[in-house]
Structure 1
């Protein structure tokens, strides 16, 4: 575990020690379960980073920090929309997803309040306040991170093997095409890359090499000021924001 993962309020999800952490496999049931844990850890690292840096943000960096926080929310919203639109309806044919959907509803209002405040800071309509940021974050982060942890056992490899294999491949392909069509490639792409521990899973995310190269070497420069708050540099090196 790197120093970027310690001394944070929210614990990361423990990852299974299996080969597909390092190598993408054709075993979709095994890979999807692990993939979801890795995605959730990206979001937990970002929430920890917002919490950790909120009281440290310099006046010159307030707009960038708001942009960083808004990118995190955008990525989480996109992730949950993909689950609700593609994965969960298919999972529901064999698995009960009702609790997962109920949990999604439990933190939306808090996320919306935080998003509105950060939008106002970003647009310079509201004064930045580190303690207010922490309070608004905690209001939705507590149930959100609990959900991130509790969802993983509901989509375990064993449970996903109960599903029709061809059907699982079909919805996975549909979700992948949907993700490719989403906007935000100059924000969400570098966000994902700078919140993943590549020592744990060197070949994740499972995207084509040219897109991964773009996400690491081109995309970060459009909003370069945002990623100073990320726990990792675009090269995957642990970093801390210097107040």
Structure 2
């Protein structure tokens, strides 16, 4: 996680981006962790879990490429984030190949094998993590502060959230956000319950990624997650943010 203060608008872009990336890594780690232990009965919900993790990664990249990078480059300079965009091509085609295999399993065209899924993940995971780490370096707080005002950054972030929610599937993408967070991130700190960017859970108040309003968090937990509840069993966290035990019964 980048250094700085999550509430500082100039630190926010790098920390917020790292939190999103961490969510994707958590999801992929969960795919790899559960892969050898999935029983025949659980194959279908596991396929939905995996496809949602990868779908969220694609969704993030689409927003970067169609909105976020352009918004930042207006001040950072044209082409400043071209390298980050180009790096998507070092692993996205391999992710798409994995998605195709997962869809074939889902549709009954091929048999599920945990070893095959692990091999698929290993074909692109290192390149993905390298990209995710490298991208954060481009959002250095000093560079951001040099080019933007706080008001400009808040406007970009607000628009980013609108774009993100506009075509998000509330029954799949949003539950995935809750179950693939990382409770160890250093910006989850105790604060007073006076800021709309905070959440109350288990008697503790902490900064949250993404900064969904509380009514939406509750709606995800108690309504939107119900349709595919079996799929969310594979997340590293439960819907309340508690860390779940590792699988222990091999197929």
Normalised to the residue count of structure 2, the TM-score between the two structures is: 0.83
- Of 165, 168, 176, 1:191 maps to 176
CA contact (8 A) 1:198 1:204 kept: no
Distance in 1 between residues matched to 2:144 and 2:227, nearest whole Å:
38
Alpha-carbon shift at residue 106 of structure 1 (Å): 1.1
Aligned equivalent of 2:67: 86
| Matched positions, count | 224
Aligned equivalents of 2:103, 2:70: Cα separation in 1: 32
Q: Which has the higher helix share?
A: 1
Q: CA deviation at 1:75?
A: 0.5
Deviates more, 1:184-193 or 1:162-171: 162-171
Match of 2:195 in 1: none
Structure 1 residue ranges without an equivalent (≥5): 1-13
* 1:128 corresponds to which of 106, 112, 119: 112
Instruction: Give 1 or 2 for the bigger CA radius of gyration.
Output: 2
5 Å matches for 1:163-182?
A: 163-165=147-149, 166-182=151-167
1:119 is aligned to: 103
Alignment partners' CA distance in 1, 2:68 and 2:144:
11
Q: 2:146 aligns with which of 146, 153, 162?
A: 162
CA RMSD in angstroms comes to 1.7
Distance 1:128 1:146 in 2: 28
TM-score, with length taken from structure 1: 0.86
Partner of 2:33: 52
Long gaps (5+) in structure 2 = 189-205
CA contact (8 A) 1:86 1:171 kept: no
CA 1:169/1:237 → structure 2, altered by over 3 Å: closer, same or farther?
A: closer
Residue of 25, 28, 33 corresponding to 2:14 = 33
Paired with 2:147 and 2:223, the residues of 1 have a C-alpha distance of 39
CA contact 2:33–2:247 (8 Å) conserved in 1: no
- The answer on 1:204 being equivalent to 2:208 is yes
Change (3 A) 1:199 1:137: closer
1:102 maps onto 2:116 in alignment: no
Q: How far 1:139 moved relative to its partner?
A: 1.1
**Contact 1:228/1:241 (8 A) holds in 2:** no
